Amino acid sequence: MAKSKARTDLQRAVDDILTGRINNQVEARMFILKTIARLSKNIQSRFGDINDLDSQLVQVYIKGNSALNLYKMNVTDDKKKKELFDKKWSDFDNQIVINPFLPKVWWYEILNQIHDCIKNDILPPARDGFLIGETDKGKLPKPSYDGSKTLKQIDISDTELKDELKDDFNKYPGIAKGLPLEHQLKMQSNVLLCLSSEYLHPVNYFDNIRTLFAKKDKDIDFMKPEYSEANEYFPPGVAVLKDFRGKKVKKDSSIWINTTIGKFLLYRLIARYKKPGLSYEGQVNREDINAEAIKFRGEIIDISIPRRESEETLNQWVRFSKNIQGLTDNNPYFVPDNKVVKRGVQLVRIQANPRYLGDDGQHIRIPDFEYQLEENINMINEVLTDTSGSPHKFYKRLTRGYAALTAIEQISQDDDQHPLNNSKVFKEALDLDTLYNKSTQSGIKCFFKQFSRTLRFDYFTPLLDDTISLALKQVLPKAGIADLEFADYNDWYDDFEVKAGGDIEEKINAKGVITAKFESDEEQKQMKQLLICTQVGHKINEVLATKFKLPFAKLEIINALRVSLEKPKPDNQKVFFDGILSTKLDKYLRLGRAYDESYPLPVVPLYLLTKKAYSAEELQEEAPKDWTVTKATSGQKQDYGYDFLLKHKDLDHIVVLKLLAAGDNAKWQNIEQKLEELLVWQHASHQLLLARADNSINSLYTLITQLKKLFEIKIENNQRMLDYFDEVGGFAALYPVVKKNLPKAKDNAGQIELIFGALTEAKELFHELSQRSNLLYCNNKFQEFTLMIELLALLTDKLEDMTKTYKDKATQHIHAALLKLQASMQPANYQQEGNLYQPLAEYLINSKKLLAMDQDIDPKDFSDYVKAIITEVKTQLAGYAKYKKDNVHASIFAAEKSSRLLVDDNGKLYRVLLEKGIADYIDYRIATARDFYLIHWLDKSRIHYKMNAVSFTTNLTQKAIDAAGGGK
C-alpha cells in the first residue's frame, strides 16, 4: 500500500487545537461519552460480565489524559471537582483488549466480530449524529467554548498558534495573523485503509508476518511483488465505505479505519477542515495557481485494538485487567444535579447538570493511576530508545507520568497494605533508597520505589546480595544527590534530542521543549528530574545486559544438573529449559547458528515435570556435586513462583527450579480442540446458511419477475382482444369473460408489484446482514435475519394463493416452483436436504455434541437454541482462558509433544520446548514483566518462533522465517 504523506508540525499543532475545541464543548463531550458508553455496553455485554473479571473475554476502557481526568473525579474531594471540569480536556482515546489466553482461532473470531460491531453499529450512528452548525435537528455541538462561533468555522488566534508551535511559529508566514478554518463537508468521507483482509480473518495466519516486518510502526507497501502470495489469499485494497445503494456517504464527519499499523488496529471519527489559500508549508498560495491547500482534522472518537501478540495486549491483561473500573457514584458525570423551577403554578424538579450521563455512565470504564503510570513511563522509554510513534508528545507523557507518580506516592503512604508502602519496598541493599530519602518531590520519590519494585520482580534482587547494587553504582548519579540535581546527567539533558515526529527525521532539543511548554521553574525541574530518572533506568539496563551474559560453557554446567534430575520411564520425569534458553539452544544445536550469549537475567529457570513431591534433601542427593540446594522461602515462592534455589560454585547465575504436575491440562486441551472444531462448523454453517438464503431470495426474485411478465402479457392480450371486439363487434359470449379477466389481471399485477417492493426491501436487508461477520453472535441481527426469512415465507404464501387457480402451463410451472421454495424455507423441514435451515441445524447438533449440552432442537425456536449455544461457548472460553492464565507453565510443559531433545558435539542431550511452547512461554514472560527494556528484549527473542507456531505455512511465511534467522 502506498504510504501517505507524513503530517507536518503545523498540521499536528492545528489538529490538537481542533480536537481541543471539539472535546472542550460540554455538548460534544457528552455526545462522545454516550457513544463510548454504547460501544462498551455493546461489546462487554456480548463477551462477558462487566463486573466479573473471570468471565470477561474483552475489556473496553478509556485511556489517556481524559481518562486521567475522569479517574481524578472518582477520587478527588468534591470541592476540587469543578477545577477538573473547567480545565482543558483532550480527546477520548478508547482501548479494546481481547483476552490473549483465548485459543488463537477464537481470539481472531472475536476480533472479527468487534471490527464488525465498530464498523457497522458504533461509528456510523456516531457519524450521523455528530452535526456541525445549523441543521434541522439543531446545533450539535452547540457554540464552541468561546461562546461566539459554531464549529462550522473556527478562528484560531495567533496567540493559540504561538502557544502550540513556540519558536516554530515564525516558520509559517501564512498564519501570522491567525488561522480561520472552514469545515469541509465535501471533504468528509468514509475510508477503510486495509493492508489486507487477513487481519479480520478468523484464523489469522499473517498477523505475525506483519508484526515481523513492521519497522517502528511504519506502513509497509504490501503491494510489492514479494507479498503477492499473501495477497492471493487475502486481497488488499483501499475502499471507500458506501451505503447499501452504493452511494458515497456525505456527512459532517468521517470514519477512518486503519489496519496497516504494526501493533494495533485503529478506528477514528474525525471532522475535516481546510484553509483555502494556505500551502502545506504554511505559505500563502498565489491566487493564479490552483495549488493544493493544507488540510486539518479534529478527532471526535478514537478506538484502538492491540494485536494478539503485542506487548500491550499481553502485559495489560495480566498486570492491569484488575485496574480497570467504572465511574463511582460520586463522580459528577454519574450524579444528577437537580434544581427546582416554577412551571406555571407548579414547582418542578429538573436535571441541571449538563454533564450528567445517567444510566449510560455505568458502562464507561477507566484505568487507575498505576495503569496511567505504566503507560506514560513506557512511552517516555520509547522516546529514549527512538522507537516512539509520536516522540513530539513526550512532554505530555512526562506530565501524566509525574501526576500518576505523585498520586500513587500519596496513596501508598496512606495505605499500610499498599505494595509501594515504605514498609514493603527497599528490602534490598540498593542505593535507590538513598535517592528516595534525598528527594523532596513526591513524584520522584515514587519513581525510585517503582523502579526498586521492578528490579525486585524482574531481576530477582532479593536473591542476589550485593551483585545488583554493584551494577547500580556504575550508573547511578554520583554528584548532586543531595538536591537531586543529577549533575552527572546535566550534559546529557542539555544535549538530548527527540524526533519531531514518528515519520520525520528532524530532531528537536528536549530541554528546549520542556522550557517552552512549562512556565514555572518548579515544573521544569520536575520534568527534568523525571526524564533523567528514566534515562538512569535505561543505563542500568545496559549494565545488566553485560553483567549477566551466559556463555555456552556455563549452560553445559546447568544442563548436567538438568540431566541428573531427568528420569526415563516408568517415572517419565522430565526437566526442561525455559522458552528463552530453548531459543538459544534450538538455533545453536538444531539450526547451526552462532550461539548468542546475551542474557540480562541473573537466574536460569528449570521446570521439573514430576509426580513426586521433592524435599530439598532429596534434590540435593540427586544433584551433581558442587551444587547447593535450598528450599524457596514462602516470600520467594510468592514473589517468583519457584520451589527451589540451586547455586554452583562456578556460576554467577542462580538456578531456580519449579515443580510441575500435568493437572487438568489434558482436559483443557481437549476442550480447546472441541472449541476450534466448533468454530469450523460455525463458519461453514453460517456461510451455507447465507448462501441458501441468497439462493431463496434470487429464486423468488426470478419467479416474481416471471409472474410480472405473465400478467403483463395477460393484460396486454386481454386489452388487445377488448379493443378488437369493440372494433369489429360480435363475440357476445366471449366479451364479458375477457372484460372480467382484465381487472383481475391488473389486480394481480398490482399485488405482484407490492410483493416485488417487499422483496426489494428484503434484498437490501440481506445485503446488510450478509456483510456481518457472524449473525449467530449478533443476537439482534440474527433475529432480523429470521424475520427476513419469515417475510420471504409470507411472500411465497401470497404468490401461491395467486397462482394455484391458474390452469395455464406457465403459471402451473411457477406454482410448482413456489411450492418447492415454500418447503425449503419451513423450519419444521430442516432435516430435508436443501432446506434453508439445514446447515443451522447441523451446526446446532454438532455444537450440542461438542459442548455436551443436554438440550433438544426445537425447529420453532432456533433463535433461543443459538443463544444457549453461544452462552455455553462463552462460558467454556472463559474457563479455558482462566485455566491457561492460572496454569500457564503446566499448559506449556505438560502439553502433548511439548519438547524435543537436542544433542551437542559431546553427545550431551538438552531438552528444549517446541516452537509453539517457546512462543507461549515468552508471551507469558512479556505479560508479567515490568521493565520496558526486558519486555522488548523478550519480544526480540521470540520473533524467530512466532510464525512457526501456526499450522499453515506458505512460501511467504518461510521467507519471513528465514529473514528472521529462524529457518533451517
pLDDT at 470: 64
Q: What is the pLDDT of residue 627?
A: 95
Question: How much is the pLDDT for 111?
Answer: 85
**End-to-end distance of the chain based on CA atoms, in angstroms?**
31
Across residues 614-641, what is the average pLDDT?
92
Cα–Cα dist 557/908, whole Å: 11
Mean pLDDT check: name the lowest of 95-104, 226-235, 777-786.
Answer: 226-235
Beta partners for 338?
Answer: 351
Summarised one tens digit per residue, pLDDT across range 416-467 is: 777 777 777 766 546 677 778 888 888 888 888 888 888 888 888 777 756 6
Per residue in 796-811, pLDDT (tens digit) is 888 888 888 877 888 8
User: For every residue of 372-387, which 3-state class applies, written as one string?
Assistant: HHHHHHHHHHHHHCCC
Percentage of the chain beyond pLDDT 70 is 80
Stronger pLDDT, 189 or 693, i.e. the higher one: 693
Band the pLDDT of 584: cuts 50, 70, 90: very high
Query: What is the pLDDT, as a whole number, of residue 831?
Result: 84
Average pLDDT across the chain, whole number? 80
pLDDT score for 620: 95
Nearest 10 degrees: CA dihedral of 642, 647, 651, 654? 20
What is the rounded CA–CA span in Å between residue 896 and residue 917? Answer: 11
Decide: 627 and 649 in contact? Cβ < 8 Å: no
Reference 537, options 656, 452, 422, 433; nearest CA is 452
pLDDT for 229 beyond 50: no
pLDDT higher than 90, residue 506: no
Mean pLDDT calculated for residue range 616-628: 93
C-alpha cell at 209: 508476518
Q: How confident is the model at residue 203 (pLDDT cuts 50, 70, 90)?
A: very low
CB atoms within 10 A of CB 460: 22
Predicted local confidence at residue 69, as pLDDT: 85
pLDDT reported for residue 690: 85
Residue 824 pLDDT: 87
Q: What is the pLDDT of residues 295-322, one digit of tens each?
A: 898 899 999 999 888 888 999 999 999 9
pLDDT in tens, 118-156: 888 898 888 888 877 643 333 444 433 233 345 777 888
Q: For the chain, what percentages of helix, strand and coil (3-state, to nearest 5) are there?
A: 55, 15, 30
Is pLDDT larger for residue 258 or for residue 111? 111
Pairing of β 346-351 and β 504-509 = unpaired
Residue 916 pLDDT class (50, 70, 90 cuts): confident
- 695 versus 545: which is more confidently predicted? 695
Element (DSSP H or E) covering residue 303 = strand 295-306
Say if residue 966's pLDDT is above 50: no
pLDDT at 73: 83
Helix (H, G, I), strand (E, B) or coil at 506: strand
Class of residue 223 by CB neighbours under 10 A (exposed 0-12, middle 13-18, buried 19+): middle
Q: Is the pLDDT assigned to residue 219 strictly greater than 50? A: no
- Give the lowest-confidence range in 99-108, 187-196, 543-552: 187-196
Nearest to 782 by CA among 756, 758, 790: 790
732-750 residues labelled b (16+ CB within 10 A) or e (exposed): eeeeeebeebbeebeebbe
Cα 486 to Cα 417, 433, 533: the distances in Å are 32, 16, 9
- Please give the average per-residue pLDDT across 269-297, as a whole number: 81
728 pLDDT above the threshold of 70:
yes
> How high is the pLDDT of residue 243?
59
DSSP-derived secondary structure for 756-773? HHHHHHHHHHHHHHHTSS
| Residue 865 predicted with pLDDT over 50 | yes
Where helices occur in 214-368 by DSSP H, the ranges are: 228-233, 311-315
Give a three-class secondary structure readout of 200-232: HCCCCCCHHHHHHHCCCCCCCCCCCHHHHHHHH
Asked if 960 contacts 210 with a C-beta cutoff of 8 angstroms, the reply is no
Q: What is the pTM of this model?
A: 0.85
pLDDT band at 608 (very low <50, low <70, confident <90, very high): very high
Q: Which of 751, 743, 701 is nearest to 718 (CA)?
A: 743
Residues 6 or more apart whose Cβ sits within 8 Å of residue 540: 471, 472, 475, 476
- Predicted local distance difference test score (pLDDT) of residue 134: 47
Rounded mean pLDDT of 156-178? 84
Task: Give the residue with greater pLDDT, 510 vs 422.
Answer: 510
> What value does the mean pLDDT take over residues 939-944?
81
* pLDDT, average across residues 534-548: 82
Per-residue pLDDT for 776 more than 90?
no
Determine the pLDDT at residue 145: 28
Three-state SS at 783: helix
| pLDDT in the model for residue 39 | 93
Question: If you average pLDDT over residues 944-963, what whole number do you get?
Answer: 47
